[in-house]
């Protein structure tokens, strides 16, 4: 096992969140003794003063920037200004203060929403600039994409080692199941499980079901991020994905089957589908730092469904 993480102080912004949980687990498995997580109660990373205080207190060698203001299509449509401003300000100021303080490495986590709306499938990292992102999440996607521009500019002018990773849609245990802000997999799981519990004979899904998505199990994404943190030191963006694409209609039917929901799935075409297709070319991650996602999709869904059921049963999920 590598000793890279055993001799460095690692700050993980967003470490208390969904993906952060799995990144922290991965760091512990690697024997990292100095894992530091700036919580939102103590540090508002949108504010420059709090970022400066975080750096002064935690003195990181490496920053893995997971923190983000995120949500599904509905949340992005409702809060485009907030999603743009907060995500941009967090990332830009964290990178600038990291440069000023001479940290060893900054790992910026982008989003698949940064890709143009009509990117040829599979998405290649070199296609990031061939068009405008899908409108419903463009402000969020563009705010995140600016961290790639900043990372490359800072490497060129200052020799600052900042890398930029593009995870596809995440899913897994501990995901966000709040209907107001959740993504499609937890939203569908909640709809199906709740319909079974209440005896409902149908659920409603947004759009036509024709759009496609790629998903990666959160533990796999965390592994890709940590491999890149240790081994990747180049300016080019890198996709973190599973290489598996599925339509939303097929996804809904699969989740219904896995949860045991036998009622009707009703599609509401008055609501948006979002980006028509999403599927990543993951060859650069494999070539540069040996990352390949390992979790079977059905197995990952079963684990996520089971976590939601157990959490609901325990009275912790409302």
102-120 pLDDT tens trace? 999 999 999 999 999 999 9
Does residue 202 fall inside a structural domain?
A: no
What is the pairing mode between strands 212-217 and 169-171?
A: parallel
User: According to the 3-state scheme, what is the secondary structure of 62-81?
Assistant: EEEECCCCCCCHHHHHHCHH
Domain around 92: 4-171+215-243+276-295
Average pLDDT of the residues of the chain: 95
66-89 pLDDT tens trace? 999 987 778 888 999 999 999 999
Does residue 199 fall inside a structural domain?
A: no
Does residue 135 fall inside a structural domain?
A: yes
CA distance 94 to 20: 17
Q: Is the pLDDT of residue 249 over 70?
A: yes
Rounded to 5°, angle at Cα 228 from 222 and 231? 140
Does residue 178 fall inside a structural domain?
A: no
For the chain, what is the largest distance between any 2 Cα atoms, rounded to a whole number of angstroms?
Answer: 62
Does residue 207 fall inside a structural domain?
A: no
Its pTM stands at 0.94
Identify the residue whose tokens are 């240790």: 230
Choosing from 140, 217, 232, 308, which is the catalytic residue? Answer: 140
Q: Is 115 one of the annotated active-site residues of the chain?
A: no
120-144 pLDDT tens trace? 999 999 999 999 999 989 999 999 9
Does residue 8 fall inside a structural domain?
A: yes
Q: Is the pLDDT of residue 316 over 90?
A: no
Cβ atoms of residues 197 and 263 within 8 Å: no
Q: Is the pLDDT of residue 318 over 50?
A: no
Here the contacts of 73-76 (C-beta below 8 Å, separation 24 or greater) are: 73/136, 73/137, 73/206, 73/271, 73/272, 73/274, 74/180, 74/181, 75/180, 75/181, 76/136, 76/137, 76/139, 76/140
Instruction: Kindly state the average pLDDT of the residues 237-263.
Output: 97
Could you give the number of structural domains in the chain? 1
Instruction: Kindly state the average pLDDT of the residues 36-41.
Output: 96
Does residue 103 fall inside a structural domain?
A: yes
Instruction: Kindly state the average pLDDT of the residues 184-211.
Output: 96
Does residue 63 fall inside a structural domain?
A: yes
Q: Is the pLDDT of residue 193 over 60?
A: yes
CATH number of the domain bearing residue 149? 3.40.50.720
């Amino acid at each position: 096992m590598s000793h890279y993480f055993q001799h460095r102080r690692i700050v993980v912004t967003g470490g208390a969140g969904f993906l952060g949980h799995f990144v922290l687990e991965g760091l512990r498995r690697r024997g990292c003794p100095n894992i530091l997580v700036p919580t939102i109660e103590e540090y508002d990373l949108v504010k420059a003063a709090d970022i400066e205080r975080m750096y002064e207190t935690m003195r990181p060698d490496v920053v893995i920037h997971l923190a983000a203001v995120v949500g599904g299509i509905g949340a992005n449509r409702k809060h485009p200004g907030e999603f743009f401003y907060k995500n941009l300000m967090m990332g830009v100021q964290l990178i600038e203060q990291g440069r000023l303080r001479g940290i060893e490495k900054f790992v910026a986590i982008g989003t698949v929403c940064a890709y143009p709306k009509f990117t040829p499938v599979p998405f290649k990292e070199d296609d990031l600039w061939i068009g405008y992102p899908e409108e419903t999440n463009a402000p969020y996607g563009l705010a995140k994409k600016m961290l790639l521009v900043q990372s490359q500019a800072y490497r060129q002018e200052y020799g600052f080692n900042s890398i930029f990773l593009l995870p596809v849609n995440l899913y897994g245990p501990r995901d966000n199941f709040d209907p107001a802000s959740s993504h499609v997999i937890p939203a569908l799981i909640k709809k199906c499980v709740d319909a079974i519990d209440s005896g409902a004979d149908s659920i409603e899904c947004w759009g036509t079901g024709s759009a496609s998505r790629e998903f990666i199990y959160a533990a796999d994404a965390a592994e890709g991020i940590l491999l890149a943190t240790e081994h990747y030191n180049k300016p080019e963006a890198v996709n973190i994905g599973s290489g598996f694409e599925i339509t939303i209609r097929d996804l809904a039917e699969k989740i219904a089957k896995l949860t045991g929901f036998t009622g009707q799935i009703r599609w509401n075409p008055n609501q948006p589908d979002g980006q028509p297709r999403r599927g990543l070319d993951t060859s650069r991650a494999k070539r540069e730092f040996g990352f390949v996602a390992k979790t079977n999709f059905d197995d990952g869904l079963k684990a996520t469904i089971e976590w939601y059921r157990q959490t609901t049963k325990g009275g912790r999920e409302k």
